[in-house]
Amino acid sequence: MKLFYIEQKGRSMIEMLGVLAIVGILSVGAISGYSTAMRKYKINRLKDEYTQFIHDVLLYDNEWKKMARQNPDVKLFSIQNYVTQMNLLPKLWILDKTGWIIDSMGGQFSIFVRRPSGKIDIDYQTKGTQKSNADAKDLCIAMAYDVFKPMSANVYTLSAYTEKYNDDNKHTGSANLLWYGDSYCGGNRKCLSDLSLSDIITHCTSCAHNDTCRWIIQFE
C-alpha cells in the first residue's frame, strides 16, 4: 500500500497570531509617535499664530488707546470684538459667547486696554481639564518661553497666576509671580529676559485637575 504525504506550505495559527501581535505592537507605536508629532506641530503652529497676532494688534496701539480714552468710565476696555471684526484672528480661532477668544487648541484669552495707563493686556489661560493635562502644561510652557519671553523689549510686565479650584469647582485661592520688561526691571524687580525654563515648568505643572494657569502680559 502506498502512503501519500501532504507537504504543508501554509502557516500555523500560532505563527499567524504571533505575526498579528507584532503588527499590532508596531501599529500602536506608530500611532503614538504620529500623535506626538501632530501635537508638537500644532503647538509650534499656535506659537507662530500668537506671535503674529500680537504683532498685528500692537500695530493699532494708538487707535486702541484713543478708543479707551473715549470711554473713561471703563477701567478695562475690551477690544476682543474689534480684533475679531478686523479679521486679526488666525483661522480656527473664535470669539465665544462669554467674550473669550478661543485658540485652535482650546486655550483662551481676553485682550483689553487698561485705564488710565493705556497699556494693552492679554490674559491667557490654560486649564487642567483642557483636552488633557499634557496639552494644558505644554501650551502653558510654550506660550511663556517661546512667545512672551522673546517680547521682553516691548513688555511692561508678565504675571503668572495659578487659580486653585476644588472638586466642586469652587475657587480656593491663587498665587502669582511677576517679571518686568527690559526697560523696567532691575534692583528688586525680576527681569523677564531672565525668566528660566525651570520657573516656567514649575508654574505650568501646577495646572492640574481643575486648576487654571494664567499668564497676563502687559505691553508698554
Output the pLDDT for position 84: 94
Q: Examine residue 59 and state whether it is found in any structural domain, yes or no.
A: yes
Q: Examine residue 35 and state whether it is found in any structural domain, yes or no.
A: no
Output the pLDDT for position 124: 92
Q: Examine residue 158 and state whether it is found in any structural domain, yes or no.
A: yes
- Backbone dihedral angles phi then psi of residue 15, each to the nearest 5 degrees: -65, -40
Q: Examine residue 182 and state whether it is found in any structural domain, yes or no.
A: yes
Using CB atoms within 10 Å of the CB of residue 62, give its burial: 0 to 12 exposed, 13 to 18 middle, 19+ buried.
exposed
Tell me the residue range of the domain where 111 lies.
Answer: 45-219
How far apart are the C-alpha atoms of 49 and 89, rounded to whole Å?
A: 9
CA distances from 184 to 32, 66, 104, 114, 147 (A): 45, 24, 33, 18, 19
Output the pLDDT for position 166: 57
Q: Is the pTM of this model over 0.85?
A: no
Q: Examine residue 122 and state whether it is found in any structural domain, yes or no.
A: yes
Element counts in the chain: helices (H) and strands (E) = 5, 8
**Number of C-beta neighbours around residue 114 at 10 A:** 16
How far apart are the C-alpha atoms of 146 and 139, rounded to whole Å?
A: 10
Q: Examine residue 84 and state whether it is found in any structural domain, yes or no.
A: yes
How far apart are the C-alpha atoms of 207 and 135, rounded to whole Å?
A: 11
Output the pLDDT for position 37: 83
What is the H or E stretch that residue 46 is in? helix 13-58
Q: Examine residue 56 and state whether it is found in any structural domain, yes or no.
A: yes
Q: At what angle do helices 133-142 and 197-205 cross, to 10 degrees?
A: 150
Domain count, the chain: 1
Q: Examine residue 106 and state whether it is found in any structural domain, yes or no.
A: yes
Which residue positions in the chain have pLDDT lower than 50?
5-6, 128-130, 172
